[in-house]
Amino acid sequence: MYILALDQGTTSSRAIIFDSLGNIIGVAQKEFPQIFPKPGWVEHNPWDIWNSQREVMFEAIEKAKIKPKEISAIGVTNQRETTIVWDKDTGQPIHNAIVWQCRRTADYCERLKKDGLSELVKEKTGLVIDAYFSSPKIKWILDNVPEARKKAEQGKLLFGTVDTWLIWNLTGRKVHATDYTNASRTMLFNIKNLDWDDELLEIMNIPRNMLPKPLPSSYFYGVCNIFEDAEIPITGIAGDQQAALFGQCGFEEGILKNTYGTGCFILLNTGKDIKYSSKGLITTVAYGIGDDVHYALEGSVFIAGAVIQWLRDNLGIIKNSSESEILAKMVEDNGGVYFVPAFVGLGAPYWDMFARGLIIGITRGVKREHIVRAALESIAYQTNDVIELMESETGIKIKELRVDGGASANNFLMQFQSDISNLKVVRPYITETTSLGAAFLAGLKVGIWKDLNEIKRIWREEKIFTPGMPEEKRRYYLAKWKEAVTKARGWEKE
């Protein structure tokens, strides 16, 4: 019995095949182009998303040396908030996908805040008003693409986050659906009654008929019919960060995980109760299995692994991401350099859409090794900002951080994270926990695992990092970091 997990990310599409013990038996990955029409704007071609995902599906199956008919279920996990609007009849997107990182709707979000809507949005959706989420992006497309609003009102357009776009294409345009976790990232979904909110739809002027049907994360969505000799049920969907929490066996209240991907996403399972933050953490749906819905508090770091990608692609000072660890270890410390990678603003706890990137503390003695080290350290500092806030907001004393994602393989970064946060950092044996979470959700529905306890028995640790930095040094580093953040904030604001 095998499960195919589709992991559609911000910079690449992946497909991973797992067996019933959670082992990876086939994997394929393909990067696709990033589009930057203006400063702060980020887009994807929806066909690049679909074609790359389709290609890696076939490649992973070939590498696993299995046939499609041996796959019991498909689980989907995806970059969240990214917004696609397409024609219901032709299936053609009417605009490029507007990516979660895109800041084009920042001014509109500021207007919503000035209109006093922050508390209403937070109460209904658990979110803060920010350009990060989907609904301002939908509105932008309807307002800026010729004939779009008219077509939407006539019921001729469909909206979806990336999961919905993939499901629509996987099922031969038969299924227009999403799951609770992805729906909860749109700024249109009422997390209490688990449905689209009519009041918010009216405020944003978005027709309800565009929206997909929201369903539990482990559910029979439909059948994938793109293989010649097999129809495979699609039975699991979750936004990438919720899938990672699930893949880390974060089933109970108090479990904390961080995924080090393009951004960093720290999720704390808060159980069946909705807990709100007063200081910029997001309340979101963690997962839904039947009537059992769990919630989480989330802190988002917009630029994490992307800062290493920037060093490689824009500055050319490293050849590949693994070189960053080698260079960081070649110097004793950061040389007084602090790097605030606020390329698209700052997430929690600052929520400053107008912050911009900053490297400070440069002297004649600073070398590329210091810059690279400061970039890696910035990932740990931003993560720590969120963890400190979670502890103060919930009263939960966090003792352990479960980590995953590409940059969690960097031992320098994981040790620095442990030191700066004064926490045990646990890296699992399988760090592809986003894909694993999608596989777990899909496998539960088709009976590969009978319950959550059976899944827990599969999960195992690979390495544990323990803090060793003197407290005085730790406090000094944190103080300098916070000073650097202060200088980066509000840069773009008139």
Binding residues for sn-glycerol 3-phosphate: 10, 80-81, 132, 240
Q: Compute the radius of gyration of the chain from its Cα atoms.
A: 21
Distance in angstroms (rounded) separating the CA atoms of residues 379 and 34 = 22
Residue set of the binding site for ATP: 10-12, 262, 305, 309, 406
Cis ω before 349 (30° cut-off from 0): yes
Residue 191: phi and psi, rounded to 5, are -75, -10
**Nearest-10 crossing angle of helices 411-421, 471-488:** 100
Residue 126: phi and psi, rounded to 5, are 80, 0
The identity of residue 188, as a single letter, is L
Distance in angstroms (rounded) separating the CA atoms of residues 132 and 115 = 19
Convert 139-164 to b/e letters by CB count within 10 Å (16 or more is b): bbbbeeeeebbebbeeebbbbbbbbb
Residue set of the binding site: 10-12, 14, 80-81, 132, 240-241, 262, 305, 309, 406, 410
Residue set of the binding site for ADP: 10, 14, 262, 305, 406, 410
DSSP string, 294-332: EEEEEEEES-SHHHHHHIIIII---SSTHHHHHHHTTSS
Q: For the beta carbon of residue 102, count every other beta carbon within 10 angstroms.
A: 28
Residue set of the binding site for glycerol: 80-81, 132, 240-241
Distance in angstroms (rounded) separating the CA atoms of residues 142 and 201 = 13
- Three-state DSSP at 350 gives coil
Residue 96: phi and psi, rounded to 5, are -60, 155
